[in-house]
Structure 1
Amino acid sequence: MKANEYFMPTEWRVKGNIQEVYDVCSNFLDYQRWWPEVYLNIRAEGVDEETGNERYALLSRGKLPYKLRWFSSKTHEDAPRTLSLKASGDLAGRGTWRFEQDGEYVNARFDWYVNAEKPLLKRLSWFMKPIFRSNHDWAMRKGLESLNRELERRRTARGGMI
């Protein structure tokens, strides 16, 4: 594995049903609203030539003081069980969400295979990899907190039903 290559799996356990969790996680344009600590700006930017799906331009950040500009599009979708995407720009690679109902909870796993292509991050990866990985973990913890808030907001809006 090259110094700038990362495999970063994340597992979330969320109270709810698979469809509601999938609906939130599969709507990339809405990330900026419900996950604002990480997603600063997201906009649709035409169609990805390779996939034929909507292409999104993203500006994101972690706890560390740098921002990432990248593009993403869905590559595969099997609602509500899986969702795969590709990334290019400051981050280049692929990710897959997997969702599984487990009683009143949903187990969500995100496998992120990505290369740091932002010049500074790419250059520093050889010795900063643990810090960059910790930064990703922080972002994903914020995502879980934000997802729980978003699910509660949606339930309240529809009268408290799970």
Structure 2
Amino acid sequence: MGSTDYEFQTVWRVAGTPEEVAAILGEATAMPRWWPSVYLAAEPVAGAAPEPRPGIPRPVHLHTKGWLPYTLRWTLTVTEPVTSRGFTLSAAGDLNGTGRWTFEPDGPETVITYDWRVGAAKPLLRRLSWLLKPGFAANHRWAMARGQESLALELRRRRAAAGIPPGNPRAVPAPPPPTFTWWPGRQIRAAAQRNR
């Protein structure tokens, strides 16, 4: 593995069914709303078919960040249909590689495993990877921890809206916001405001 290559495996456990989890994680355009600490913007690729194959949503251009004050622009393409067992994706842009979400039911919860194998293409990451690779890995772990927290909140919000259990979806706390919204200026602030 080269100095600009990264391999991560993240395991989450959330209260919800694999079907509920797949419905949320399989809709990349909604991620800035429920996972705003990481997903600043998500736009479908212009000209792409709405659903090229059953269970395959159109590719999405993403603007993302972690805890550290830099952002990434990349395109997420689902390469294997979104099902209650999981799906695969590819990344192209500032990050290039593949990801695989796997969903396993465990009583009233779902165990989610995410395998992420990417290479850094953004010049900043490529130049500093040899020195700051542990920091970049910690940044990824921070982002994924916010993802688990945000997904659990979104599941609670959707269940409350459906009356399972009866409750008010507005009583569910907001997801964690992005860090360093002042950096690199208006771009992150504007993206964060759009997705509230």
Per the TM superposition, whether the score is higher than 0.5 is yes
Q: Which one has the largest radius of gyration?
A: 2
2:27 maps to 27
Tell me, yes or no, if structure 1 residue 89 matches structure 2 residue 121.
no
CA apart distance, 1:78: 5.1
Give the TM-score normalised by structure 2.
0.78
Q: Which blocks of at least 5 consecutive residues in structure 2 are unaligned?
A: 167-196
Structure 1 pair 11–90 and aligned structure 2 pair: CA distance change class (3 A): same
Normalised by the length of structure 1, the TM-score is: 0.94
Q: 2:65 aligns with which of 61, 64, 67?
A: 61
Corresponding residue for residue 80 of structure 1: 84
Q: Which residue of 2 aligns with 1:14?
A: 14
The aligned counterpart of 1:146 is: 150
Measured in 1, the distance between the counterparts of 2:59 and 2:112 equals 23
Shift of the alpha carbon at 1:107? 0.3
Runs in 1 of length 4+ with deviation above 3 angstroms?
A: none
**Matched residues, percent identical?**
43
Query: 1:161, CA displacement in angstroms?
Result: 4.3
Aligned to 2:109: 105
Alpha-carbon separation, structure 1, partners of 2:152 and 2:24: 10
User: Matched residue of 1:113: which SS?
Assistant: strand
One-letter amino acid matched to 2:28? F
CA distance in 1, matches of 2:67, 2:116: 18
SS at match of 2:59: strand
1:37 has 2:37 as partner: yes
Does the CA-based 8 Å contact 2:80-2:88 persist in structure 1? Answer: yes
Letter of the 1:137 counterpart: R
- What secondary structure is seen at the aligned counterpart in 2 of 1:12? strand
Q: Flag the structure with higher strand content.
A: 1
Paired residues of 2:43 and 2:62 also in contact (CA < 8 A): yes
CA contact (8 A) 2:22 2:82 kept: no
Structure 1 residues 106-130: Cα deviation after superposition (integer angstroms, max 9, x where no partner): 0000000000110010111112111
1:156 aligns with 160
The answer for unaligned runs of 5 or more in structure 1 is none
Instruction: Report if the CA contact (8 A) 2:90-2:98 is conserved.
Output: yes
Q: Report the counterpart of residue 193 of structure 2 in structure 1.
A: none
| 2:2 alignment counterpart | 2
Matched, 1:71 2:56: no
- AA of the residue aligned to 1:14: V
String of CA shifts for 1:78-113, please: whole Å, max 9, x gaps.
511021000010000000000000111100000000
Q: Distance in 1 between matches of 2:17 and 2:41?
A: 28
The whole-number CA distance in structure 1 between the counterparts of 2:60 and 2:16 is 27
